[in-house]
C-alpha cells in the first residue's frame, strides 16, 4: 500500500526533513552549545519517529475504515494479536528508518553529537520511543473502533498533546507545576530525561529507566485490555458493520 501512497513517502522523508531543518536552523540562529542542540534535535527526532511508528499501528485499521472493507478483514480468521504484531513490525521498521534518516541529517548538518550515551543509551531511548508509539497506536485503534473516522483527529491531537507534555524541546522544569505532574505519567518523559542526562542536563526525576519501563508496561497492558474490550464491544454494537457502510 505504501508503495503507491505518495503520503507515505512524505511521512517518511519530507516531513522529517522539514522538521530537522527547521529546528536545526533555529538552533544555529540561536547559536546554542552542542549539548543544547542535541537536547532539542533529539526531541524533533523523537516526535517524528514516534508519529511514524504509531501511524503504522493506527493504519492497521484506518486503511480498512477509509476503504470501508473492515468487515471483510474481520470475517477472515485473524486475531487482534496478528493485526498488532504485523502493523507493529511495520511501524518499527519505518520508525527506525525515520530515526536513521533524521539522525544522519542532524549529525551531518547541525553537528548533533549522538555518541555520548553509547549504543546502550541509544538503544534504551529507541525502546522507550517505540513502546510509547505502541501505546499511542493502541489508544488510537481503540478510539477508531469506538467512534470511527471521527476519532482520527482527536486521536492524533492526543498524541501531539502527549508529546508536548513530556518535554520534547525543553526540560520538564520549565512547565507549570500542574503540568509537571501530568508529565510524570508519560513514560517518554523519563526516557528523554535519561538520554539527555548524558549531555549534562540534570535529572528532574530519580530512576528514570525504572519509572519509564514500569509505566510503559502498565500502559501497554491497559491499552491492550482497552483495545480488546473495544473490539468485543464493536462486535456487540455492530460498529464493524457501520464502519463498512
Partner 1 sequence: MQPAIFAEGIGKSYRERMLGPRKAVLREVDLEVIPGAIFGVLGPNGAGKTTLISILATLLHPDTGAARVLGLDVVKEAGKLRQRINLAAAGAHFLWCLSVEENLRFYGRLYGLGGRALTAKVEGLLDLFQLREQRRVLFEHLSTGLKQRLMLAKALINDPELLFLDEPTSGLDQDMAQHIREEILRLNRKTGLTILLTTHNLREAEMLCSEVGFLKEGRLAARGSIPDLQRRLGLGDHLSLIFRDSPAPLEYARLPGVLAHRIQEARVDLVLDRAEIRLAAILEAVAHAGHELAQVKVKPMDLEEIYREVTH
Binding-site ranges for partner 1 (CB under 8 A): 1, 4-5, 63-64, 66-69, 71-79, 235-238, 240-241, 244-245
- Closest to partner 1 by CB, 143 or 165: 143
CB of 103 to partner 1, least distance (A): 30
For partner 1, the closer CB: 109 or 235:
235
Least distance to partner 1 from the beta carbon of 61, Å? 12
Among residues 90 and 164, whose Cβ is nearest to partner 1? Answer: 90
Rounded Cα gap, residues 38 and 7, in angstroms: 29
Q: For residue 86, what is its C-alpha cell?
A: 504485523
- Nearest-CA neighbor of 223 among 74, 57, 46? 57
Closer Cβ to partner 1, 71 or 116, answer by number: 71
Question: Left if phi > 0, otherwise alpha if psi is -120 to 50, otherwise beta: which for 167?
Answer: left
Compute the least distance from the CB of residue 69 to partner 1, in Å: 5
CB 41 within 8 A of CB 110: yes
| Min CB(11)–partner 1 separation in Å | 15
Whole-number Å distance between alpha carbons of 215 and 186: 8
Question: How crowded is residue 232: how many other Cβ atoms within 10 Å of its Cβ?
Answer: 12
Report the nearest approach of partner 1 to the CB of residue 133 (Å).
23
- Least Cβ distance, residue 82 to partner 1 (angstroms): 9
Angle, CA 37 vertex, CA 32 and CA 169 arms, to 5° = 110
Least distance from C-beta 78 to partner 1, angstroms? 6
Nearer CB in complex with partner 1: 36/244: 244
Closest of 118, 107, 108 to residue 197, by C-alpha = 118
CB closer to partner 1, 79 vs 120: 79
Residue among 120 and 238 whose Cβ is closer to partner 1: 238
Could you give the CA distance from residue 25 to residue 209 in angstroms, rounded to a whole number?
31
The cell 484506518 sits on which residue?
62
199: DSSP letter: G
Length of the chain (residues): 245
Amino acid at each position: 500500500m505504501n508503495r503507491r501512497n505518495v503520503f507515505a513517502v512524505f511521512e517518511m522523508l519530507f516531513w522529517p526533513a522539514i522538521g530537522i531543518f527547521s529546528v536545526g536552523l533555529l538552533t544555529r540562529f540561536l547559536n546554542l552549545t552542542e549539548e543544547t542542540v542535541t537536547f532539542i534535535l533529539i526531541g524533533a527526532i523523537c516526535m517524528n519517529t514516534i508519529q511514524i511508528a504509531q501511524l503504522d499501528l493506527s493504519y492497521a485499521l484506518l486503511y480498512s475504515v477509509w476503504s470501508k472493507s473492515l468487515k471483510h478483514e474481520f470475517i477472515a480468521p485473524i486475531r487482534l494479536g496478528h493485526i498488532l504484531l504485523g502493523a507493529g513490525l511495520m511501524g518499527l521498521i519505518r520508525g527506525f528508518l525515520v530515526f536513521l534518516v533524521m539522525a544522519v541529517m542532524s549529525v551531518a548538518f547541525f553537528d548533533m553529537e549522538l555518541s555520548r550515551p553509547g549504543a546502550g543509551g541509544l538503544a534504551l531511548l529507541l525502546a522507550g520511543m517505540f513502546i510509547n508509539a505502541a501505546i499511542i497506536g493502541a489508544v488510537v485503534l481503540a478510539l477508531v473502533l469506538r467512534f470511527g473516522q471521527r476519532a482520527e483527529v482527536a486521536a492524533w491531537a492526543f498524541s501531539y498533546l502527549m508529546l508536548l507534555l513530556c518535554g520534547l524541546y525543553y526540560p520538564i522544569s520549565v512547565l507549570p507545576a500542574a503540568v509537571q505532574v501530568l508529565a510524570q505519567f508519560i513514560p517518554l518523559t523519563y526516557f528523554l530525561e535519561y538520554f539527555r542526562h548524558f549531555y549534562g542536563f540534570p535529572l528532574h526525576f530519580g530512576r528514570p529507566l525504572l519509572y519509564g519501563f514500569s509505566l510503559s508496561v502498565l500502559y501497554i497492558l491497559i491499552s491492550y485490555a482497552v483495545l480488546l474490550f473495544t473490539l468485543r464491544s464493536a462486535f456487540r454494537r455492530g460498529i464493524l458493520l457501520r464502519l463498512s457502510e
